């Protein structure tokens, strides 16, 4: 938010002249019939994408020369806003004259770029980028129909943000490499989620298979798990230098204290007919860790339990775990 | 030709209203609270305007009509004030509203939910209004407030306000109504109806923007939203918007005088436009005419996405609106259409046309012609219209 965002503008003001012209007079709007295609010895391909209930739907017609696989003519029909109409028209235009394999390589980013008045100014505002995605999807559907394959086969990676064409792999990678904690950071690094925002979280313009919030959460969880595993491994190998007692969770602190007591303290107490139990463990505001214990058996009431024995326990724990430990018998 | 059919969004300031406001910018610009003539010379006009407001809403002299900056402020005030006075102290914990309220209510309720308030969003029926009986079953001992709009901004549908107010009264629950789309379009009589709080806004009835009001029955307690000086009897601080108050008073008086014109002439033009629209194939208008404000039509035009329709209308000088997907920043489909549970398709094909007493028959005739052309052109482009042969057989 800043000066330019406070009084919202009309999204129409952000449409390029090309977009506006195509909205008013689409060049490739219409149908190709089977007869028309046959007359010219071409194969008719018809593909649909989207639905009225989603707010966008497009139907693409190709007349393809089966010898060369060249798309000789392309037409469209579209249910959608003006930018959807302009994008569909541009997409049909870009298909014409290309082979089917070449056409499949046309992305929504190519469509948007073709509608720019100058190379540096986007043709549509961010939230309208979504409209050109459909143009890309319907090409894949048409090519799949022509080749008799599944449309999914043209997509090798999982795309999370279709507007900016960002893959699941890329998003996970930037989270890990840059230690990202928020969706805004992901958007800043990758542009994923910067346009129609559907991929950020459920409840947007359209339902998605993957959402940035979930990817972030899952990746962060994975990273935490890996950190814990590294810690556990380091302990086994005796080189627990990576994480100090201070970084432990409460459970880890308790376990580490228990382990030290079992190893160096309890055997001595038991020899004298006594024992102890840990009642509680707390981090204090001044940065210490207080361990509350209760003496059992012979230790209970023993004169040295508040002097020599206590000092011995404390010094073992300070040595083994953390110099900030205080032991408080109750 | 330019035709303005977006009067539920805002209206033209009546030139008579503008004329009344004019002296309070350059001539009598004093602060009404000041102890000098510059200030005191504004008092007669302010008193007159307050009289016009009380008269226009038929409020009792014991009631408060506090001037605010807009209905959004009035709505925020009621919700946050009730939260402070009845919920924060643990006495109550619950507010009831409907799922088709204006964002000024819905967003404020969502905010209160973050503070622990329980909010019930009553569902609407296929006409887009709540059933008064539904309300009864949701009121509990812990309910602090019921807030229900008088007329819906998208559909113009009138809510059963009298029944709702009775139910609230019997249950001893405070009742607030956001009457932004009702005041100035239909009679609003606050002596006849038992309503605790009522919000309204001047720019919806040919008054200026930036001024609205909150009616508070019996001058009952409601913690202030804006703290500061002792303006508006200490209820709402901020230097009085003299020109705005004068304009709102005049606008309300004119609107009330024109209620029968609204109900007859505006309705007649609205019905004429609706008749012409219904001659098109595959269109669906929400709610029956006598259940709506006399100026509003919400129509779904099969096969044409709302923003595409607005584009074609605007190209020809006609202003309308759509809550549908692509027209708004957040790309969401028309929330009222979704709430009505209409076929999902309709949510993206909604077009709202709202008239005013300044709309002329010539403008309506022109609109009908342009609308017909737009429908023809856009349905020719549409991939869904020509491929829905079953549409003609469906109930819509």
Same domain flag for A69 and A138: yes
Does position B392 have pLDDT exceeding 50, yes or no?
Answer: no
Q: How near does any CA of chain A get to the CA of B383, in Å?
A: 5
pLDDT at B360: 98
Check if A196 is active-site.
Answer: no
Q: How near does any CA of chain A get to the CA of B246, in Å?
A: 27
Residue of A nearest to B306 (CA): A81
Evaluate whether residue A258 is within a structural domain.
Answer: yes
Kindly state whether B95 is in contact with chain A, defined as any CB-CB distance less than 8 angstroms: no
pLDDT at B394: 35
Same domain flag for A121 and A170: no
Does position B396 have pLDDT exceeding 50, yes or no?
Answer: no
Q: Which of A121, A138, A156 marks a domain boundary?
A: A156
Q: Which of B55-59, B128-132, B352-356 has the lowest mean pLDDT?
A: B128-132
Same domain flag for A133 and A273: no
Evaluate whether residue A235 is within a structural domain.
Answer: no
Over residues B148-153, mean pLDDT = 96
Residue of B nearest to A30 (CA): B381
Phi then psi for A111, rounded to 5 degrees?
-65, -45
| Residues of A within an 8 Å Cβ radius of B | 8, 11-12, 23-24, 26, 29, 48, 51-59, 76-85, 127-128, 130-131, 196-198, 204-205
Same domain flag for A16 and A131: yes
Evaluate whether residue A233 is within a structural domain.
Answer: no
Same domain flag for A256 and A149: no
Q: Which of A138, A156, A174 marks a domain boundary?
A: A156
Same domain flag for A67 and A21: yes
Does position B335 have pLDDT exceeding 70, yes or no?
Answer: no
Same domain flag for A191 and A100: no
Does position B109 have pLDDT exceeding 70, yes or no?
Answer: yes
Q: What count of other Cβ atoms lies within 10 Å of the Cβ of residue A178?
A: 12
Long-range contacts at B217-221 (CB < 8 A, ≥ 24 apart): B217/B63, B217/B190, B218/B60, B218/B62, B218/B63, B219/B62, B219/B63, B219/B64, B220/B196, B221/B85
Residues in chain A within 8 Å Cβ distance of B384:
51-52, 57, 79
Over residues B260-267, mean pLDDT = 97
DSSP SS3 for B294: coil
Q: What is the largest CA-CA distance in chain A?
A: 110
Mutate to test the interface with B, among A52, A60, A85, A203 (most CBs of B within 10 A): A52
Same domain flag for A13 and A116: yes
- B383 contacts A55? CB cut-off 8 A: no
Kindly state whether B176 is in contact with chain A, defined as any CB-CB distance less than 8 angstroms: no
Q: pLDDT class for B395, splitting at 50, 70, 90? A: very low
- Written as six digits, the tokens of A308 are 């020599």
- A78 contacts B383? CB cut-off 8 A: yes
Evaluate whether residue A185 is within a structural domain.
Answer: yes
- CATH number of the domain within which A38 lies: 3.90.1010.10
Same domain flag for A48 and A132: yes
Evaluate whether residue A288 is within a structural domain.
Answer: yes
Check if A95 is active-site.
Answer: no
Residues in chain A within 8 Å Cβ distance of B350:
none
Q: Which of B106-110, B184-188, B211-215, B330-334 has the lowest mean pLDDT?
A: B330-334
Q: How many residues does chain B have?
A: 396
Residues B93/B95/B99/B102 CA torsion (nearest 10 deg): -120
pLDDT at A274: 87
Q: Which residue has the tokens 């795309």?
A: A159
pLDDT tens by residue, chain A, 330 residues: 578 778 877 889 999 999 999 999 999 999 999 999 999 999 999 999 887 777 788 999 999 999 999 999 999 999 988 999 999 999 999 999 999 999 998 988 899 999 999 999 999 988 787 777 888 889 989 999 999 888 777 777 788 888 888 889 889 988 988 888 999 888 888 888 888 788 999 877 778 889 999 999 999 999 988 888 887 777 666 655 556 788 788 888 888 888 889 888 888 888 888 889 999 998 888 888 999 999 888 888 787 888 888 888 988 899 888 888 999 988
Evaluate whether residue A231 is within a structural domain.
Answer: no
- A131 contacts B380? CB cut-off 8 A: no
Name all domains of chain B by residue range, CATH numbers in brackets: 15-257 (3.40.640.10), 259-388 (3.90.1150.10)
- Written as six digits, the tokens of B366 are 């022109």
Please tell me which of the candidates A48, A79, A85 has its beta carbon nearest to residue B303. A79
pLDDT at A1: 59
| Cβ atoms B199, B180 nearer than 8 A | yes
Q: pLDDT class for B251, splitting at 50, 70, 90? A: very high
Over residues B170-198, mean pLDDT = 97
Q: Which residue has the tokens 């870009």?
A: A94
Does position B202 have pLDDT exceeding 50, yes or no?
Answer: yes
Contacts of B108 (CB under 8 A, 6+ apart): B75, B76, B79, B80
Does position B10 have pLDDT exceeding 90, yes or no?
Answer: yes
Contacts of B112 (CB under 8 A, 6+ apart): B79, B80, B83, B87, B95, B119
Phi then psi for B81, rounded to 5 degrees?
-65, -45
Evaluate whether residue A161 is within a structural domain.
Answer: no
Evaluate whether residue A110 is within a structural domain.
Answer: yes
Q: Which of A156, A177, A194 marks a domain boundary?
A: A156
- CATH number of the domain within which A283 lies: 3.30.300.130
Question: How many contacts (CB atoms, under 8 Å) link A and B?
Answer: 87
- B345 contacts A52? CB cut-off 8 A: yes
- The more confidently predicted of residues B294 and B134 is B294
Same domain flag for A144 and A16: yes
pLDDT at B325: 40
The residues of B carrying an active-site annotation are 326
pLDDT at B390: 40
Percent of chain B at pLDDT > 70 equals 92
Which structural domain range is residue A85 located in?
A: 8-156
Does position B343 have pLDDT exceeding 60, yes or no?
Answer: no
Over residues B39-52, mean pLDDT = 97
Over residues B324-330, mean pLDDT = 45
Percent of chain B at pLDDT > 90 equals 84
What's the structural domain count of chain A? 3
Same domain flag for A123 and A211: no
Does position B320 have pLDDT exceeding 60, yes or no?
Answer: yes
- Cα B131 from Cα B154, distance rounded (Å): 18
Residues in chain B within 8 Å Cβ distance of A127:
329-331
- Cα A191 from Cα A185, distance rounded (Å): 9
Same domain flag for A32 and A103: yes
């Amino acid at each position: 938010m800043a000066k330019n965002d406070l009084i919202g503008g009309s999204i129409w003001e952000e449409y390029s002249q090309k977009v506006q012209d195509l909205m008013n007079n689409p060049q490739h709007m219409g149908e190709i019939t089977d007869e028309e295609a046959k007359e010219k010895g071409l194969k008719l391909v018809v593909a649909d994408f989207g639905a009225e209930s989603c707010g966008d739907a497009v139907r693409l017609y190709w007349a393809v020369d089966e010898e060369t696989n060249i798309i000789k003519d392309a037409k469209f029909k579209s249910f959608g806003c003006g930018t959807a109409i302009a994008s569909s028209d541009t997409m049909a235009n870009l298909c014409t004259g290309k082979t089917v394999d070449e056409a499949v390589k046309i992305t929504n980013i190519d469509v948007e770029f073709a509608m720019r008045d100058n190379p540096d100014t986007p043709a549509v505002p961010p939230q309208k980028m979504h409209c050109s995605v459909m143009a890309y999807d319907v090409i894949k559907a048409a090519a799949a129909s022509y080749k008799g394959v599944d449309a999914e086969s043209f997509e090798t990676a999982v795309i999370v943000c279709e507007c900016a064409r960002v893959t699941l792999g890329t998003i996970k990678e930037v989270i890990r490499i840059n230690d990202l904690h928020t969706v805004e950071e992901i958007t800043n690094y990758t542009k994923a989620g910067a346009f129609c925002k559907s991929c950020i979280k459920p409840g947007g313009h359209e339902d998605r298979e993957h959402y940035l919030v979930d990817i972030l959460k899952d990746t962060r969880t994975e990273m935490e798990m890996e950190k814990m595993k590294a810690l556990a491994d380091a302990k086994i190998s005796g080189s627990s230098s990576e994480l100090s007692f201070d970084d432990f969770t409460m459970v880890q602190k308790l376990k580490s204290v228990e382990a030290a007591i079992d190893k160096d303290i309890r055997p001595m107490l038991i020899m004298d007919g006594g024992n102890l139990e840990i009642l509680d463990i707390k981090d204090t505001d001044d940065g210490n860790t207080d361990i509350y214990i209760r003496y059992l058996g012979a230790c209970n009431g023993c004169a040295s339990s508040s002097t020599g024995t206590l000092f011995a326990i404390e010094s073992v724990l300070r040595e083994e775990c953390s110099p900030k430990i205080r032991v408080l018998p109750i | 030709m330019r035709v303005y059919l977006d009067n539920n969004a805002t209206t033209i300031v009546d030139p008579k209203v503008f004329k009344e406001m004019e002296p309070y910018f350059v001539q009598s610009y004093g602060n009404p609270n000041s102890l000098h003539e510059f200030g005191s010379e504004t008092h007669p006009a302010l008193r007159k305007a307050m009289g016009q407001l009380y008269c226009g809403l038929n409020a009792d002299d014991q009631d408060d009509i506090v001037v605010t900056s807009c209905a959004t402020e009035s709505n925020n005030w009621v919700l946050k004030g009730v939260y402070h006075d009845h919920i924060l102290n643990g006495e109550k914990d619950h507010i009831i509203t409907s799922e088709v309220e204006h964002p000024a209510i819905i967003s404020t309720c969502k905010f209160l939910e973050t503070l622990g308030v329980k909010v019930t969003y009553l569902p609407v029926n296929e006409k887009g209004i709540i059933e008064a009986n539904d309300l009864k079953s949701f009121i509990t001992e812990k309910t602090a407030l019921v807030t229900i709009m008088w007329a819906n901004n998208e559909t113009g549908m009138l809510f059963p306000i009298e029944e709702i107010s009775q139910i609230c009264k019997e249950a001893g629950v405070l009742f607030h109504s956001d009457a932004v789309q009702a005041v100035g379009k239909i009679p609003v009589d606050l002596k006849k109806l038992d309503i605790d709080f009522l919000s309204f806004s001047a720019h919806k009835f040919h008054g200026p923007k930036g001024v609205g009001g909150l009616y508070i029955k019996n001058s009952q307690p409601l913690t202030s939203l804006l703290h500061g000086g002792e303006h508006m009897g200490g209820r709402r601080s901020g230097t009085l918007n003299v020109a705005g108050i004068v304009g709102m008073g005049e606008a309300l008086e004119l609107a009330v005088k024109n209620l029968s014109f609204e109900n007859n002439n505006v309705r007649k033009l609205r019905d004429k436009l609706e008749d012409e629209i219904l001659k098109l194939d595959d269109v669906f208008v929400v709610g029956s005419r006598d259940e709506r404000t006399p100026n509003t039509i919400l129509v779904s035009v099969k096969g044409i996405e709302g923003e595409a329709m607005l584009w074609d209308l605007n190209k020809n000088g006609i202003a309308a609106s759509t809550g549908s997907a692509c027209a708004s920043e957040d790309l969401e489909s028309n929330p009222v259409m979704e709430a009505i549970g209409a076929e999902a398709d309709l949510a993206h094909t909604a077009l709202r046309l709202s008239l005013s007493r300044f709309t002329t028959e010539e403008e309506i005739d022109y609109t009908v012609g342009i609308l017909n052309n737009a429908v023809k052109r856009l349905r020719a482009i549409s991939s869904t219209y020509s491929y829905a042969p079953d549409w003609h057989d469906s109930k819509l």
